[in-house]
Copies of this chain bind each other. A is one copy, B any other.
Amino acid sequence: MILAPGATIGILGSGQLGRMLAMAALKLGLRCHIYAPESDAPAYDAASERTVAGFDDEAALARFAEAVDVVTYEFENVPIGCVEFLESRKPVRPGARALAVTQDRFAEKTFLSGLGLATAPFRAVPDAAALAPALAEIGRPAVLKTLRLGYDGKGQAMIREGSDLPALHRSLGGGPMILEGFVAFDCEASVVVARSLEGAMVAYDLCENEHDRHILARTHVPARVAPGVEAAAKALAAKAVEALDYVGVLAVELFVARDATGGARLLVNELAPRVHNSGHWTIEGAQTSQFEQHIRAIAGWPLGSPARRGRIEMSNLIGDEADEWRDILAQPDVSLHLYGKLETRPGRKMGHVTRVFAEPPHGG
């Protein structure tokens, strides 16, 4: 199903990603209808319609499906049941399969390994008793993670020499988990890739990401990596979206580590079945933003060029960093984005800033 201008896109979730998706839809003459449980949230201001209801409210979901032409989601923790319910009524892009694979860390790592893509070594930890044998296989240091609902470092803990295993397991809620080998990486990176309804693919240039307390702090493009690494990362991302028969934008989070000979080695950390914080630079820094790219893909429209306009630095404004908005606005080379969040909290993403620097025509 291909949308016409004037059509309505339904978005599950009401955060800043939904807000920026809705702004991209507006640019293209489309409308958005936001569906989320929150009564006040960033995306509502950019949408022509909103439904404030739980993801398990089938009556509200049915009305929502009736009111929109296609459905997408702006975060990966939408319940699968909700998406399956909607899929029986309207196209959902990307669909329940991408969500199922990426919501569960064990399913995700298994999917990646099945494609021949390198990840950290991992073992299932279905219960507390399984932790010690898994750790014996993986070795220390290792990272214990809940299967679901982890983001920005939530739902994970490092296991070192002397760690109290039962206490760590309890601190993460005691449910089924995954144990991953710790990767001593040189840097973190990501590839933002898009796939159209017809199967065409485009990838943005590799992003180099710096985290601070597990929250993305800065993204640099181009990434400062060895020749060949960027092409390898794009190829790997293409393999993942192809295997998922994916429609929309997906981000692949990567570790750039070293192999035995000192060469660069890429490990997939996780997949995000949505637009991604490390792709925010594309609003000013690319011919087509990741948000417009996602809207084009789910509308059944041709993808846009991901061509980069220069060397980029994107910095998140976390918590009270956004209080500096007036000083930031006074800097001539900076583009400021604020998400309209009325309450500042530590660790909360309040906005971001992007700088685009002219680059010599042939790189370097």
Chain B minimum-CB-distance residue to A339? B29
Contact with B along A7-40 (1 / 0, CB 8 A): 0000000000001000100111111000000000
Q: Which of B305, B332, B337 contacts A307 (CB 8 A)?
A: B332
Q: Which of B46, B48, B301 contacts A329 (CB 8 A)?
A: B301
Asked if A336 is at the interface (CB within 8 A of a chain B CB), the reply is yes
The answer to whether A326 and B301 touch (CB under 8 A), given A46-B26, A48-B45, A339-B29, is yes
Most buried by B among A333, A338, A342, A351: A338
> Are B301 and A337 in contact, CB atoms less than 8 angstroms apart?
no
**Number of chain A residues close to chain B: CB under 8 A:** 41
Asked if A126 is at the interface (CB within 8 A of a chain B CB), the reply is no
- Docked complex: A45-82 residues within 8 A CB-CB of B: 45-46, 48
CA distance A338 to B26 in the complex (A): 8
Q: Give chain B residues whose Cβ lies under 8 Å from the Cβ of A45.
A: 26, 31, 48
Chain B minimum-CB-distance residue to A48? B45
Chain B minimum-CB-distance residue to A283? B27
Asked if A304 is at the interface (CB within 8 A of a chain B CB), the reply is yes
Question: Oligomeric state, in number of copies?
Answer: 2
**Whole-angstrom distance from the CB of A227 to the nearest CB of chain B?**
24
Asked if A110 is at the interface (CB within 8 A of a chain B CB), the reply is no
CA distance A52 to B333 in the complex (A): 39
> Are B335 and A5 in contact, CB atoms less than 8 angstroms apart?
no
Q: Give chain B residues whose Cβ lies under 8 Å from the Cβ of A329.
A: 296, 301-302, 304
Q: Give chain B residues whose Cβ lies under 8 Å from the Cβ of A287.
A: 332-333, 335
Q: Give chain B residues whose Cβ lies under 8 Å from the Cβ of A31.
A: 45, 340
Asked if A167 is at the interface (CB within 8 A of a chain B CB), the reply is no
Q: Which of B29, B330, B336 contacts A28 (CB 8 A)?
A: B336
> Are B6 and A340 in contact, CB atoms less than 8 angstroms apart?
yes
Asked if A309 is at the interface (CB within 8 A of a chain B CB), the reply is yes
Q: Which of B23, B330, B342 contacts A23 (CB 8 A)?
A: B23
Q: Give chain B residues whose Cβ lies under 8 Å from the Cβ of A304.
A: 329, 332
Q: Which of B44, B330, B358 contacts A361 (CB 8 A)?
A: B358
Asked if A182 is at the interface (CB within 8 A of a chain B CB), the reply is no
**Whole-angstrom distance from the CB of A318 to the nearest CB of chain B?**
15
CA distance A360 to B92 in the complex (A): 45
The answer to whether A332 and B305 touch (CB under 8 A), given A6-B342, A31-B45, A44-B48, is yes
Asked if A111 is at the interface (CB within 8 A of a chain B CB), the reply is no
Asked if A325 is at the interface (CB within 8 A of a chain B CB), the reply is yes
Q: Give chain B residues whose Cβ lies under 8 Å from the Cβ of A358.
A: 361
Chain B minimum-CB-distance residue to A329? B302
CA distance A336 to B5 in the complex (A): 12
Seed contacts A26-B45, A305-B332, A307-B332; 17 additional CB < 8 Å A-B pairs = A5-B340, A6-B342, A19-B26, A26-B340, A28-B337, A28-B338, A29-B325, A29-B351, A30-B340, A31-B340, A44-B48, A45-B48, A46-B46, A301-B326, A302-B330, A305-B333, A309-B309
27 contacts between A and B (CB under 8 A): A5-B322, A5-B325, A5-B338, A6-B342, A23-B26, A26-B45, A26-B46, A26-B340, A27-B336, A27-B337, A28-B337, A28-B338, A29-B339, A29-B340, A29-B351, A30-B340, A31-B45, A44-B48, A287-B335, A288-B335, A301-B326, A301-B329, A302-B329, A302-B330, A304-B329, A309-B309, A358-B361
